[in-house]
């Protein structure tokens, strides 16, 4: 059979496989619109809380006003007891609870540090983190005000007290994420992970479940087809989608395409190995989805790779998602030169060679019974 006929038959096989088509094109397009939606405003603001003020002093009410004035927090209700505030939280009326303790003002005057109690749903880490940030900002400002007042009482001038109330002066300047938001931080890596997972499922489904022998030319045509499809989807994600979402792009196009080609190549070969090894097509999707959470948390952008156990790092480096995400994060978001991602490039090449050799061996093993003739 000619290469042209093989190519046509491969496209026909893909066109008639609705699950693979839906995964590759439908899933990729759907997630390009769905996933960035929660991050469109970069950071969550105006998170609602209820306040239990057990002190009821002028200072405690002033703290309430300062907390309500922060962009992160909005006080929408007040409760007379912790039990009442807990019920408001359980009824989803508020996203957090703040308890100002009794003797709050007295402890401030005595130079003690009163403890503010904050409760929220830790499962929603963006919301909880925003509330904690707003409350700590207002509480820190009040603590500074009290310290400045004490220094003035002790005889220090207002100007001197204002500039010396703290031994440290913090000047925060974001290096890579100038907006300090989640869109530029999380979406590029997630986009690459979506391409990784849909490619594994799509190419794995096409190769799984068949008892017939797969020829090397057919495997090569399938590999080249998916290389072309996913290079196009990569350009859609990192081109049009980035422009629509306003995500920064620091790397040159030729650099991104080169890394994308290595990433897609090794992922395609891994997906074909999965298809050769798994007997039923339904198991391909289940297997890839099961490993999604471990892979995404070991990719290095949610939790630093340096903080992960060594065995987890070794296992994650067998899969293209980890070096691929690391390479794009350094190249595109941190502005690293190509020489700065040589370890990731080398690992992707070795992965492609390794999975290619395994695929070659699996195909030879399937061909052997057919090629042997009885004596």
pLDDT tens per residue across span 99-141: 999 988 888 878 788 889 999 887 787 788 889 999 998 988 8
Name the range with the highest mean pLDDT among 202-216, 251-265, 329-343: 251-265
Least confident of 20-29, 32-41, 198-207, 243-252: 32-41
CATH of domain 47-164: 3.40.1710.10
The average pLDDT across 242-269 equals 91
Provide CB contacts within 8 A for 250, sequence distance 6+: 331, 332, 333, 334, 335
What is the spatial distance between Cα 132 and Cα 90, in angstroms, rounded to a whole number?
19
How would you write the chain as a 3-class SS string?
A: CCHHHHHHHHHHHHHCCHHHHHHHHHHHHHHHHHCCHHHCCCCCCCEEEEEEECCCCHHHHHHHHHHHHCCCEEEEEECCCHHHHHHHHHCCCCCEEEEECCCHHHHHHCCCCCCCEEEECCCCHHHHHHHHHHHHHHHHHHHHHHHHHHHHHCCCCHHHHHHHCCCCCCCCCCCCCCCCCCHHHHHHHHHHHHHHHHHHHHHHHHHCCCCCCCCHHHHHHHHHHHHHHHHHHHHHHHHHHHHHHCCCCCCCHHHHHHHHHHHHHHHHHHHHHHHHHCCCHHHHHHHHHHCHHHHHHCCCCCCCHHHCCHHHHHHHCCCCHHHHHHHHHHHHHCCCCHHHHHHHHHHHHHHHHHHHHHHHHHHHHHHHHHHCCCC
- Helices 183-207 and 253-277: crossing angle in degrees, nearest 10, is 40
Residue that the structure tokens 């290079």 belong to? 231
Tens of pLDDT, residues 207-248: 876 544 467 788 888 899 999 999 999 999 999 998 888 888
In the chain, where the domains are located: 3-39+182-371, 47-164
What is the spatial distance between Cα 81 and Cα 85, in angstroms, rounded to a whole number?
6
pLDDT over 70 (residue 370): no
pLDDT over 60 (residue 292): yes
Least confident of 10-14, 173-177, 323-327: 173-177
pLDDT attached to residue 45 = 84
pLDDT over 60 (residue 371): no
Q: How confident is the model at residue 375 (pLDDT cuts 50, 70, 90)?
A: very low
Summary mean pLDDT of the chain: 85
Residue that the structure tokens 């920064």 belong to? 248
Is the pLDDT higher at 35 or at 342?
Answer: 342
Least confident of 8-17, 111-120, 332-341, 362-371: 362-371
Is the pLDDT higher at 136 or at 148?
Answer: 136
Least confident of 56-70, 128-142, 156-170, 186-200: 156-170
Tens of pLDDT, residues 80-89: 899 999 999 9
Residue that the structure tokens 């707003």 belong to? 134
Provide CB contacts within 8 A for 362, sequence distance 6+: 273, 276, 277
How large a percentage of the chain has pLDDT more than 70?
Answer: 91
pLDDT over 60 (residue 372): no
């Amino acid at each position: 059979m000619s290469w042209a006929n093989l190519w046509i038959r491969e496209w026909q096989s893909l066109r008639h496989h609705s699950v693979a088509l839906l995964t590759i094109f439908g899933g990729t397009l759907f997630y390009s619109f769905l996933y960035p939606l929660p991050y469109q405003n970069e950071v969550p603001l105006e998170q609602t809380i209820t306040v239990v003020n057990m002190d009821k002093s002028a200072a405690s009410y002033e703290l309430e006003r300062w907390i309500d004035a922060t962009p992160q927090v909005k006080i929408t209700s007040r409760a007379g007891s912790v039990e009442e505030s807990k019920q408001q939280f359980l009824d989803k009326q508020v996203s957090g609870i703040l308890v100002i303790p009794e003797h709050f003002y007295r402890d401030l005057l005595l130079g003690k540090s009163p403890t503010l109690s904050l409760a929220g749903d830790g499962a929603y880490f963006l919301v909880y983190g925003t509330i904690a940030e707003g409350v700590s900002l207002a509480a820190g400002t009040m603590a500074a005000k009290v310290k400045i007042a004490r220094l003035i009482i002790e005889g220090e001038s207002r100007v001197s007290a204002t500039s010396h109330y703290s031994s440290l002066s913090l000047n925060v300047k974001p290096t890579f994420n100038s907006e300090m938001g989640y869109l530029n931080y999380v979406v590029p890596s997630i986009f690459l992970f979506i391409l990784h997972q849909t490619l594994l499922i799509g190419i794995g489904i096409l190769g799984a479940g068949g008892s017939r022998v797969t020829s090397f030319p057919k495997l090569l045509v399938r590999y080249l087809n998916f290389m072309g499809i996913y290079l196009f989807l990569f350009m859609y994600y990192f081109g049009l989608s980035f422009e629509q979402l306003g995500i920064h792009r620091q790397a040159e196009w030729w650099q991104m395409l080169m890394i994308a080609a290595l990433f897609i190549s090794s992922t395609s070969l891994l997906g074909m190995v999965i298809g050769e090894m798994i007997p039923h097509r339904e198991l391909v999707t289940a297997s890839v989805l099961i490993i999604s959470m471990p892979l995404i948390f070991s990719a290095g952008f949610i939790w630093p790779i340096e903080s992960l156990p060594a065995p987890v790092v070794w296992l994650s480096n067998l899969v293209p998602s980890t070096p691929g995400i690391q390479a794009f994060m350094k190249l595109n978001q941190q502005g690293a030169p190509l020489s700065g991602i040589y370890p990731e490039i080398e690992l992707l090449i070795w992965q492609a060679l390794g999975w290619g050799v395994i695929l070659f061996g699996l195909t030879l093993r399937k061909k052997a019974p057919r090629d042997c003739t009885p004596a």
